[in-house]
Amino acid sequence: MNPNFSSTIKFIFLFLGKMEAQTSKVVLSLNAKEVDSLKDGVSFKKNPEDGRCYIIYKSSGGFKACKNQCKHQGGLFIKDIEDLDGRTVKCTKHNWKLNVSSMKYVNPPDSFLQDELEVEMLDDGGMQLVELSPIDPWLTDPRDPLELQEGEVKITYLTHACMELQLGQKRFLFDPWLMGPAFARGWWLLHEPPADCLDRLCAADLIYISHLHSDHLRPNGGRLPEKVDLMMSDFAGGASGFPMTFHGGKYSGELNTVQCCPGNIVERKPNTINRLFKFSFTASFAVINSSEAITDPPANAKIYKDSWEFDLYVDELNSAISSEIFKHESWIQFYYSWAGFQNYNLVVRMIETDDSFKPMSNGYDYLVDFLDLSFPSTRPDREHSYIEIKNRIGVMRYVVLHGGLWDDLYIGFQNRISRDPDTYHHKFWNHFQTQLPLHGPDWDQFLQQVPPIQETDALNYGLLNYCSIL
Ligand code: FES
């Protein structure tokens, strides 16, 4: 192995998790006259040199400022005409709202903080907005470029987002989803991975997981690499990255056994990380080495998958439907108590459906009031937010039975959601997507504490409408 290469690797890891001093950059300057003309409340300003936009909020307490860039997908804010206090701006893309006086997003409620810019008042009455950024560690003290040897760097596309990068003797593997579906029965691999994909996975020196979705990390039937370094980041663009990837903060250092990567380091709760590592990896990759191979694949290379073993996976999900626990209506209370989400003014109606999202006559249909974690038969009289969710019965019950995250339901296209008002409840979804307890509900204990099913009930099981909702 090229000795220079080995020191390059050491160099890379030397900086992992390292916190450097911040840099500062003036992104907007206003002269005294422009500062004087700022009205109380929200002002929008553009830097004439680079065209970038900023928001300044003026109050008796001074100034606050931020970039005019929505944390969701970078949309532009405008004044929110519904906000009579003049503190809120609204994104033109998907209507997120930001209260600029507190720099908190109000839609989604209880969610994110906007990154603030420093406001510096100058002696001459002018003002500067300053962006503080941590130094990018890979840019400090750069090395001289090194000559690459023939074959020293090799990238192999395996399937979906999974690639293998070989640097000399070191192998890096990215986002290993190689077998079976992701998001319950919602997503299936398009490209056939190479036959040795699991060998490649197990031979990896480092695995990078770009974000916490099941199309980037799947079980592989127990074939796992041992003592592998893991890198995780919170980067993910587009709707697929939301809301898992908006934890804010650019660097957060090292987490347990996780080797963090430079830039956009993940800030997961240990809970979530442990949940991830409960799963083994599954990966499937193909035979394509180099871009040339994509346009001119090796003879006999199978590029697209033509078999997915649907039944194997769908049957497993559907096996949850007949689980003993669903013979007892009190599973609902047990499950949501286990989930642990409450003190939030939201009422959710959950409806079990067939594959066409038609309610099933023998399925559950119930309300959960998350304010006090009660299960009323009708919506409460008080003002409240309301969501109605129709779920395919097999996936819903599988998720309940195994204490799974709810990504399987909605990213996997296994439900239909209506909401009133049309507000994204980040706190609710984030809880069911990332904050569920590490261990699933103790259904054995549940079955011990519920009264035995009467014969008549057993006969009716499968025919009852368990909870009637008006
Ligand atoms: S980009 Fe702002 S709401 Fe989506």
Q: For residue 146, is it within any domain?
A: no
Per-residue pLDDT at 65 exceeds 90: yes
User: What's the 111 CA to ligand 1 centre distance in angstroms?
Assistant: 14
| 93 within ligand 1 shell (Cβ under 6 A) | yes
Q: For residue 59, is it within any domain?
A: yes
Per-residue pLDDT at 162 exceeds 60: yes
Pocket perturbation via mutation, ligand 1, pick of 69, 96, 112 by most ligand atoms within 8 A of CB: 96
Q: For residue 45, is it within any domain?
A: yes
User: What's the 238 CA to ligand 1 centre distance in angstroms?
Assistant: 10
User: What's the 360 CA to ligand 1 centre distance in angstroms?
Assistant: 36
Other residues' Cβ atoms within 10 Å of the Cβ of residue 413: 15
Per-residue pLDDT at 391 exceeds 90: yes
Going by C-alpha positions, the residue among 287, 143, 277 that lies closest to residue 219 is 277
Structure-model confidence comparison of residues 432 and 258, the more confident one: 432
Handedness of CA 355, 361, 363, 364 (dihedral sign): positive
| 91 within ligand 1 shell (Cβ under 6 A) | yes
3-state secondary structure of 199: helix
Same-domain status, 349 and 419 = yes
Structure-model confidence comparison of residues 379 and 147, the more confident one: 379
pTM: 0.70
Per-residue pLDDT at 223 exceeds 80: no
Same-domain status, 82 and 165 = no
Final residue before a domain boundary, out of 248, 273, 308 = 308
What's the pLDDT band for 36 if we cut at 50, 70, 90?
Answer: very high
| 89 within ligand 1 shell (Cβ under 6 A) | no
User: What's the 95 CA to ligand 1 centre distance in angstroms?
Assistant: 6
CATH of the domain at 359: 3.30.1050
User: What's the 90 CA to ligand 1 centre distance in angstroms?
Assistant: 9
| 105 within ligand 1 shell (Cβ under 6 A) | no
Report the nearest atom of ligand 1 relative to the CA of 73.
1
Report the nearest atom of ligand 1 relative to the CA of 75.
1
- Where is average pLDDT lowest: 26-40, 171-185, 361-375, 381-395? 171-185
| 72 within ligand 1 shell (Cβ under 6 A) | yes
- Give the range of the structural domain holding residue 322, as residue numbers without chain letter: 316-460
Per-residue pLDDT at 71 exceeds 80: yes
Same-domain status, 157 and 299 = yes
CA distance 164 to 38: 54
Helix (H) or strand (E) holding 349: strand 346-353
Q: For residue 95, is it within any domain?
A: yes
Final residue before a domain boundary, out of 100, 134, 168 = 134
User: What's the 432 CA to ligand 1 centre distance in angstroms?
Assistant: 22
Same-domain status, 301 and 321 = no
| 97 within ligand 1 shell (Cβ under 6 A) | no
Other residues' Cβ atoms within 10 Å of the Cβ of residue 88: 22
Burial 293-309 (b: 16+ CB within 10 A, else e): beeeeeeeeeeeeeeee
User: What's the 239 CA to ligand 1 centre distance in angstroms?
Assistant: 10
Q: What are the tens digits of pLDDT across the range 190-206?
A: 999 988 999 999 898 88
| 75 within ligand 1 shell (Cβ under 6 A) | yes
Same-domain status, 175 and 296 = yes
Instruction: Check: CB of residue 309 under 8 Å from CB of residue 179.
Output: no
Q: For residue 141, is it within any domain?
A: no
Same-domain status, 326 and 259 = no
Same-domain status, 161 and 304 = yes
Same-domain status, 289 and 339 = no
Which pLDDT value is given to residue 269? 33
Q: What is the DSSP letter of 76?
A: P
What's the pLDDT band for 396 if we cut at 50, 70, 90?
Answer: very high
Instruction: Check: CB of residue 244 under 8 Å from CB of residue 434.
Output: yes
Which pLDDT value is given to residue 138? 61
Which pLDDT value is given to residue 2? 39
User: What's the 339 CA to ligand 1 centre distance in angstroms?
Assistant: 29
Which pLDDT value is given to residue 140? 67
Q: For residue 3, is it within any domain?
A: no
What's the pLDDT band for 434 if we cut at 50, 70, 90?
Answer: confident
Per-residue pLDDT at 10 exceeds 90: no
Same-domain status, 174 and 114 = no
User: What's the 76 CA to ligand 1 centre distance in angstroms?
Assistant: 8
Spatial strand order of the sheet with 346-353 comes to: 365-369, 346-353, 385-392, 415-420
Going by C-alpha positions, the residue among 427, 431, 366, 436 that lies closest to residue 402 is 436
Q: What is the DSSP letter of 241?
A: G
Q: For residue 6, is it within any domain?
A: no
Per-residue pLDDT at 263 exceeds 50: no
Handedness of CA 413, 418, 422, 426 (dihedral sign): negative
| 384 within ligand 1 shell (Cβ under 6 A) | no
- Where is average pLDDT lowest: 17-31, 120-134, 172-186? 17-31
Which pLDDT value is given to residue 112? 86
Structure-model confidence comparison of residues 35 and 139, the more confident one: 35
Instruction: Check: CB of residue 172 under 8 Å from CB of residue 201.
Output: no
- Where is average pLDDT lowest: 126-130, 164-168, 373-377, 441-445? 164-168
Same-domain status, 289 and 334 = no
Same-domain status, 54 and 170 = no
3-state secondary structure of 5: helix
Final residue before a domain boundary, out of 263, 289, 308 = 308
Going by C-alpha positions, the residue among 235, 193, 244, 190 that lies closest to residue 214 is 244
Same-domain status, 348 and 384 = yes
CATH of the domain at 112: 2.102.10.10
Task: Name residues whose C-beta falls within 8 Å of residue 251's C-beta, 6 or more positions apart in sequence.
Answer: 19, 134, 263, 265
Q: For residue 9, is it within any domain?
A: no
Of all protein residues, whose CA lies closest to atom 3 belonging to ligand 1?
94
Report the nearest atom of ligand 1 relative to the CA of 95.
3
Of all protein residues, whose CA lies closest to atom 4 belonging to ligand 1?
94
Task: Name residues whose C-beta falls within 8 Å of residue 30's C-beta, 6 or more positions apart in sequence.
Answer: 38, 45, 126, 127, 128
Distance between terminal CA atoms of the chain? 71
Q: Mean pLDDT over all residues of the chain?
A: 79
Q: What percentage of residues in the chain have a pLDDT greater than 70?
A: 75
CA distance 370 to 380: 11
Query: What is the tally of structural domains in the chain?
Result: 3
